[in-house]
């Protein structure tokens, strides 16, 4: 391990003060302690990022790696309608990683954690023979009975997506072609930022959690994958319309086929996609517009077998799960 002393490294990343009032004990004991609350449900999620699988230093600087490792988990909390409170980090460090780079990873996490008043409360630090491996666990809360699940979709619901789709994969394409230190244009840099510093949609998740029945997923593997998961969990058919998919002006410099492929299958946009009743959609759209949050109707739900269809002009085709899969 390039870290000269494990305990001094842990001391260097230990928070000097905590933000969450229901934390009893953080880093320093064998486990962290936080107090419960009868009015909320606790949410726990965990993601692992592996060097040369999820990131490399051609496309991500250490700060971006840390930021994104935490962002992917916060996005999962947002998809449940919750608010993130705590995070834990397990990191396996190979010899080729210097201390400065490791500290930048934690600074990336801290920058995003500060925005949501999250506390780092523990983890583990070990050596690795080959790749850097980061596992982040996030603990959050949602008001009791307000959680949002994939199984909530019903016939006659509308299908929506937040923000714009495909930008992260477009940014990755640019980075793979030219490298992280290239002098990109303003539009290209906007796409790269969407890949390196994605914005979890916690605030929109909070709006959606006010409504009695919302099916929701975050866009980590592409909406084709996320919507198939909702269709399967809810046993419904979902129909989306290609021309209604929200896209940024920056992505339009690529071909139409490339744009559509990335919007459907790109992933790592960390937007939200889901379904809601037509009546509630009117209120949700109104509240999002008042707060300048982008949300777009992209389709509808019908009775039928669990599947997703995409309408392009007069054609209706089956939309398969082609997003990232570790074992294919």
Task: Tell me the binding residues for substrate.
Answer: 54, 268, 324
What's the pLDDT tens digit per position in 312-322? Answer: 999 999 998 87
**CATH superfamily of domain region 6-143:** PurM-like, N-terminal domain (3.30.1330.10)
Task: Tell me the binding residues for ATP.
Answer: 106, 123-124, 150, 220
Q: What is the CATH number of domain 150-318?
A: 3.90.650.10
What's the pLDDT tens digit per position in 243-297? Answer: 999 999 999 999 999 999 999 999 899 999 999 999 999 999 999 999 999 999 9
Task: Tell me the binding residues for Mg(2+).
Answer: 30, 47, 76, 124, 218, 221
Could you identify the residue written with the tokens 């905590």? 18
pLDDT at 31 over 80: no
Task: Tell me the binding residues.
Answer: 30, 47, 54, 76, 106, 123-124, 150, 218, 220-221, 268, 324
pLDDT at 229 over 90: yes
Residue ranges per structural domain of the chain: 6-143, 150-318
pLDDT at 21 over 60: yes
């Amino acid at each position: 391990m390039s870290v000269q002393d494990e305990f001094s490294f842990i001391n260097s990343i230990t928070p000097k003060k905590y933000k969450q009032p229901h934390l009893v004990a953080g880093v320093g004991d064998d486990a962290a302690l936080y107090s419960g609350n009868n009015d909320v449900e606790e949410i726990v999620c965990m993601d692992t990022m592996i060097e040369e699988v999820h990131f490399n230093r051609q496309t991500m600087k250490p700060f971006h790696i840390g930021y994104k490792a935490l962002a992917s988990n916060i996005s999962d909390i947002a998809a449940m309608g919750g608010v993130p409170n705590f995070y834990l980090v397990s990191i396996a460090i190979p010899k080729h990683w210097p201390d400065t780079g490791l500290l930048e990873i934690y600074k990336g996490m801290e920058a995003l954690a500060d925005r949501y008043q999250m506390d780092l409360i523990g983890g583990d630090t070990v050596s690795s023979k080959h790749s850097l491996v980061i596992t982040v666990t996030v603990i959050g809360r949602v008001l009791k009975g307000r959680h949002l699940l994939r199984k909530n979709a019903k016939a006659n619901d509308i299908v929506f997506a937040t923000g714009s789709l495909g930008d992260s994969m477009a940014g990755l394409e640019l980075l793979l072609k030219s490298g992280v230190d290239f002098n990109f244009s303003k539009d290209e840099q906007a796409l790269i930022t969407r890949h390196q510093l994605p914005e979890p949609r916690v605030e929109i998740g909070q709006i959606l959690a006010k409504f009695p029945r919302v099916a929701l997923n975050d866009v980590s593997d592409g909406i084709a994958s996320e919507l198939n998961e909702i269709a399967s969990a809810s046993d419904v058919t979902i129909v989306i319309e290609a021309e209604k998919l929200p896209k940024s002006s920056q992505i339009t410099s690529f071909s139409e086929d490339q744009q559509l492929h990335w919007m459907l299958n790109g992933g790592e946009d960390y937007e939200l996609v889901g379904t809601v009743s037509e009546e509630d959609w009117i209120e949700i759209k109104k509240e999002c517009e008042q707060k300048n949050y982008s949300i777009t109707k992209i389709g509808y739900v019908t009775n039928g077998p669990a599947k997703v269809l995409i309408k392009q002009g007069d054609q209706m085709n089956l939309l398969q799960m082609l997003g990232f899969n570790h074992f294919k």
